[in-house]
Structure formats: C-alpha cells, structure tokens
Structure 1
Amino acid sequence: MPEISIITPSYNSSKYLDETINSVLNQTFKDWEWLITDDCSTDNSVEILEEQNDPRIKVFKAKKNGGAGHARNISLENATGRFITFLDADDFWESNFLEEMVNFMKSENAELAYSTYSRCDENLNPTIGDFEADTIVNFNNLLRTCRLSLLSSMYDSKRVGKFYFPEGTKREDHVMWLELLKKIPQGKPLKKTLSKYRMLPNSVSRNKSNIMKDQYLVYKDYMKFSTLKSLYYTANWAFNGFIKYSKIFN
C-alpha cells in the first residue's frame, strides 16, 4: 500500500493537465498513488491521462457526469493510502509538497493539516497575496469560513477513516471538512507555501454571489441548523470570502 493517495477529478482539463501531471511526477516524495476520475470529458483529457506510463497513476471514468464530488468519491473508493490529499486537474504543487506535508503530519501527530498556497492567474503568476496557513482549524471557525483548500490539505485515513463528498451541492468540500472536524478536534497549519491555486474567473468557488444559496444549504440541510442560524453563518461566510479574495486586504 502506498503512503499517500492523491485524489483528482478531471473534466475538460486538457489545457492545464500537463502542468498538473508534471507537478505530481516531480514530487521528491515518491511513495504515492494518484487516482484520477474523469467526469465524462468531451475534450482529450482522457487521452492525455492514459498516455502516462506510470503504474502509480490510475485513471477511472465516471459512467455519468456527476460533478467534482462524484468524481472524487469514485477515486476515494479505490484509494489504499494512509494519507489522503487532493489536487484538482488545473492546480499545481511545488516539488516538496508531499514530503513536507507527510513529515509535518508525523512530527505534529496531526490527523489533519493544511499549508499556505499561492493565488495565481491561469499562467500561475501570483495575483494577490498567499493564503496563509496561520490558524488552527476547528469545527467552530470552519463554520464561518472554509480555510481548508483541497489542494493544500491532507488527512490521515488510518486514524480518522475516509470522508466522502456529498453530491448535489457546489459546496461539497466545505461539507466534507465540517464532517471531518466533527470527529477530530483540529487541523494544524504548516506555514510554508507549497502549492499554487489558479483563480480562474469562471470557477465555482470564485463566483460567491452565485453560490450563496448553496452555502446557506450547507448549514440548513447538511448541518441541520435553524433558518436564523443558517443565515448568520452564511453572512459570516460571505464577509470572510470578501476579505479572503479582495485585493484591498491582500
């Protein structure tokens, strides 16, 4: 069994796949498996993935287009590594990401950890300041803002089990992290910049106004909060999202 399982959904990602693939192949830590599920792409993403001549890379094909959460769950079902981490098909890791994260998890006896990441344009040029891993994350502060980005986080499935993504919501990552932090007390910050996030203008996470309802349902439907409590946390999330991405504060 590999030490690390990397989970990736892919959908029409051919434009960035080569850079993402190289960022994984260039990792200094080599004991990993990479489980990529293609979500019924209509471009040549599958062809690019299947050209990779590395037995650690395992490509799956979703039977229907079910979204990123559905694709991640297919990969998770087949994952065998102790440490679970995530990388979307348009993101990028520095070559020491896996090594630094695993060493940190072990030295800190952490069940969950996250690191600082760069926020870049589509050419991986920084656009605003790095998102700093400077706060211990727990369930209560994660309700107000999702500090855990998939591309910069890792958890120990040997200790906490696997956590799957709810389907049918655009906020599946936030729900998953909340469910995990119901079970464990905290996630620890590694204050090193180890990855690059492409802030594409059409990405779901960037269009805050379009997903306000989905965020409200995180609290109302998934956390089972009252309407008033759900509105309160939605307002907190929206305010913190503005602070997170506004160039005024970065």
Structure 2
Amino acid sequence: MPLVSIITPCYNSSRFLEETIASVMNQTFTDWEWLITDDCSSDNSVDIIKKINDSRIKLTIADENGGAGHARNISLKKASGRYITFLDADDFWEPEFLNEMIRFMEKEQAEIAYSNYARCNAELIPQLEDFKADKEVTFQNLLKTCRLSLLSSMYDAQRVGIEYFPEGSKREDHVMWLNLLKKINSGKPLPKTMAKYRMHSNSISRKKQNIIKDQYLVYREHMQFSTIQSLYYTANWAINGFLKYSKIFN
C-alpha cells in the first residue's frame, strides 16, 4: 500500500493539466498513488491523463457530472494511503511538497498539517503575498476563516479516518475541514511555501459576494448552529475573506 493518496478532481482542465501532472511526477517522495476522477470533461483532459505510463496513477471517469466534491469522494472511496492530500487539476506543488509534509507530520505527530502557498495568476506568477501557515488551526478559529487550502494540506487518515465532502455545497472543502477538526485539538502549520494556487478571475472562491448564502449554510445546515450564530460566523468569514485577497492588505 502507498503511504500517500493524492486526490484530484478533473473537469475540462486541459489548459493547465500537464503542468499539474509534472509537479506530481517531479516529487522527490515517490511512495504515492494518484487518484484522479474526471467529472465528464468535454475537452481532452482524459486523453492527457491516459498518456502517462505510471501504475501509481489511477483514473476514474464519473458516470455523470456531479461537481468537485462528488469527484473527490469517488477517489476517496478508493484511497489506500495513510496520508490524504489534495491537488486540483490546475494547481502546482513544489518538488519537495510531499517529502516536507510527511517529515513535518511525523516530527510534530500532527493529524493535520498545512503549508504556505503562493497566490498566482494563470501563468503561476505571484500576485499577492504568499498565504502564510502562521498559526495552529482549530475548529473554533476555522469557523471564522478557512485557513486550510486543499492544495497545501494533508491529514493522517490512520488517526482521524477518511472524511468525505458534502455534495451540493459550494463550500464543501470548508465543511470537510470543520468535520475533521471536530475530532482533534488542532492542525499544525509548516511555514514554508510548498505550493502554487492559480487565482482565476472567475473562480468560485474569488467571488465572495456571490456565495454569502452558501457560507451561511455551512453554519446553519452543516454545523447546525442557530441563526444568530450562523450570521455571526458568516460576517467574520466575509471580513476575513476580504482581508485575505485584498491587495491593500497583502
């Protein structure tokens, strides 16, 4: 069994997919499996993946388009590694990402860990200051802002179990991390920039104003908080989101 399972959803990702593949193939740590679920792409993403001759890469093609959370869940059900980590089909890891994260988790006895990541444009040129892994994450502080990014985080499934994504929510990653952090005291920060995140102008995560309701539902439906609590945490999330992406504060 591989030590690490890499989980990737893919949907019409051909523009950046080869760079993402290269970033995985160039990892100095090699004991991994890469579980890619294609979410019914209409471009040539599947053809690009099928060209790779590596038994560690396991491609599944979804029966129907169900969104990124659904695609990740398909892969998670097949994961056999102790450590679970995520990489979207347009993001990028530095060659030492897996090696550094595993060494850090073993040294710190961490159940969840996360690193810095660079915030880049489509050409992977940094646009803002690197997002800093500067504090431990807990259930309480993650309610106010999602400091855990999928591409720069890892968790120990042997210790905390596999956690699936709620399907149908545009904030499925936040809900997943909150559910994981209910089980442990905290996640540990690795203050090194180990990944590059593409900030697309039309990405869901950048259009905060369009997903206030979805974020409210994170608290009201998924965490089952009261209306007042849910409004309080949604307001905190909105303010922190502005500070996170505003060039004034970066």
Percent of paired sites with the same residue: 70
Q: Deviations over 1:192-235 (max 9, x none)?
A: 00000000011111110111110000000000011111000000
Give me the whole-angstrom Cα distance separating, in 2, the residues matched to 1:18 and 1:94: 15
Tell me which residue corresponds to 2:7: 7
Tell me which residue corresponds to 1:207: 207
Q: Deviations over 1:119-168 (max 9, x none)?
A: 00000000010000001000000000000000000000011110000001
Where in structure 2 are the equivalents of 1:1-250 lying within 5 Å? Answer: 1-250=1-250
**Aligned-partner SS, 1:78:** coil
What are structure 1's unaligned runs of at least 5 residues? none
- Deviation of 1:174 (Å): 0.1
Give me the whole-angstrom Cα distance separating, in 2, the residues matched to 1:43 and 1:202: 19
Runs of 4+ in 1 over 6 A off after TM superposition: none
Task: Give the residue type in structure 2 aligned to 1:7.
Answer: I
**Aligned-partner SS, 2:28:** coil
Normalising by structure 1, report the TM-score. Answer: 1.00
Moved more, 140-149 or 206-215: 206-215
Q: Deviations over 1:59-99 (max 9, x none)?
A: 00111100000000000000000000000000000000000
Task: Count the aligned residue pairs.
Answer: 250
Give me the whole-angstrom Cα distance separating, in 2, the residues matched to 1:49 and 1:207: 30
Task: Give the residue type in structure 1 aligned to 2:152.
Answer: S
Give me the whole-angstrom Cα distance separating, in 2, the residues matched to 1:112 and 1:85: 10
Task: Give the residue type in structure 1 aligned to 2:75.
Answer: S
Task: Give the residue type in structure 1 aligned to 2:26.
Answer: N
Give me the whole-angstrom Cα distance separating, in 2, the residues matched to 1:6 and 1:51: 19
Give me the whole-angstrom Cα distance separating, in 2, the residues matched to 1:160 and 1:99: 21
- Deviation of 1:170 (Å): 0.3
Task: Give the residue type in structure 2 aligned to 1:208.
Answer: K
Give me the whole-angstrom Cα distance separating, in 1, the residues matched to 2:24 and 2:168: 29
Give me the whole-angstrom Cα distance separating, in 2, the residues matched to 1:9 and 1:211: 21
Give me the whole-angstrom Cα distance separating, in 1, the residues matched to 2:211 and 2:37: 24
- Deviation of 1:3 (Å): 0.5
Give me the whole-angstrom Cα distance separating, in 1, the residues matched to 2:202 and 2:56: 31
- Deviation of 1:175 (Å): 0.1
